[in-house]
C-alpha cells in the first residue's frame, strides 16, 4: 500500500496552496481510503490518463461535515457516478451519487446531485474524517445504482 492507505497506483504530493493532497489515479472503479481533516475545504484528485479533476468538497457545518464530489474537465461530458462512505466506531454512512462535469470550479459545494452530511461525532481524535471513495469510469456505473 502507498501512503495514506491509497493503492500503489496513486501518488500523494505535498500540500499546495489551499489543498492538502493531490492524487493521480491510474484507473477508476476501485475503492480507496481518504483521511480528510474536518476543516479542510477540499482535496484534489486527478485521473492520470485523461486529466479529469475531481474535488472532494467539504463544508464544516453546525451539524457536521457536508461532503460532495465535483468534476472539472475540459471535454463536454455528462459526468461520473461515485460512492462515498464515512466510517466511525462501527457506524457507517453511504452516499451513491452522480457529479456533472463543469469546465471550471464553482464556489458552490452543491454542484452535484447529492451530498453526505457526516455528524461531528464521526471525527476521530485528530479531527479527521475517515472516508472510502470510489469513482466510476465514464463507461461504467455500479450495478446497485
pLDDT tens-digit map of 80-130: 889 999 999 999 999 999 888 877 665 555 455 689 999 999 999 999 999
pTM over 0.85: no
Residue 92 belongs to domain spanning: 3-135
What does the pLDDT read at residue 130? Answer: 95
Q: How far apart are CA 12 and CA 4, in angstroms?
A: 8
Is residue 143 included in any domain, yes or no? no
Is residue 124 included in any domain, yes or no? yes
Residue 119 belongs to domain with CATH number: 2.60.210
Q: How far apart are CA 55 and CA 42, in angstroms?
A: 6
Is residue 142 included in any domain, yes or no? no
Judge whether 94 and 100 are in contact, CB under 8 Å: no
Q: Would you tell me how many other CB atoms lie within 10 Å of the CB of residue 87?
A: 16
pLDDT tens-digit map of 34-65: 999 999 998 888 877 777 888 899 999 999 99
Q: For the chain, what is the domain count? A: 1
Q: Would you tell me how many other CB atoms lie within 10 Å of the CB of residue 128?
A: 16
Is residue 74 included in any domain, yes or no? yes
Is residue 81 included in any domain, yes or no? yes
Q: How far apart are CA 100 and CA 129, in angstroms?
A: 24
Is residue 51 included in any domain, yes or no? yes
Is residue 144 included in any domain, yes or no? no
Q: How far apart are CA 111 and CA 99, in angstroms?
A: 7
Q: How far apart are CA 78 and CA 86, in angstroms?
A: 26
Is residue 27 included in any domain, yes or no? yes
Amino acid at each position: 500500500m502507498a501512503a495514506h492507505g491509497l493503492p500503489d497506483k496513486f501518488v500523494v504530493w505535498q500540500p499546495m496552496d489551499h489543498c492538502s493532497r493531490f492524487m493521480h489515479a491510474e484507473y477508476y472503479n476501485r475503492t480507496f481510503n481518504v483521511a480528510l481533516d474536518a476543516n479542510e475545504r477540499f482535496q484534489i484528485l486527478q485521473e492520470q490518463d485523461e486529466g479529469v479533476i475531481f474535488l472532494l468538497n467539504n463544508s464544516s457545518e453546525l451539524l457536521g461535515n457536508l461532503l460532495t464530489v465535483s468534476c472539472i474537465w475540459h471535454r463536454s461530458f455528462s459526468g461520473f457516478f461515485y460512492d462515498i462512505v464515512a466510517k466511525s466506531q462501527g457506524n457507517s454512512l453511504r452516499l451513491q451519487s452522480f457529479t456533472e462535469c463543469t469546465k471550471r470550479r464553482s464556489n458552490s459545494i452543491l454542484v452535484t446531485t447529492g451530498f453526505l452530511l457526516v455528524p461531528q461525532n464521526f471525527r476521530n481524535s485528530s479531527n479527521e474524517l475517515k472516508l472510502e471513495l470510489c469513482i466510476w469510469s465514464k463507461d461504467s456505473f455500479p450495478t446497485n445504482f
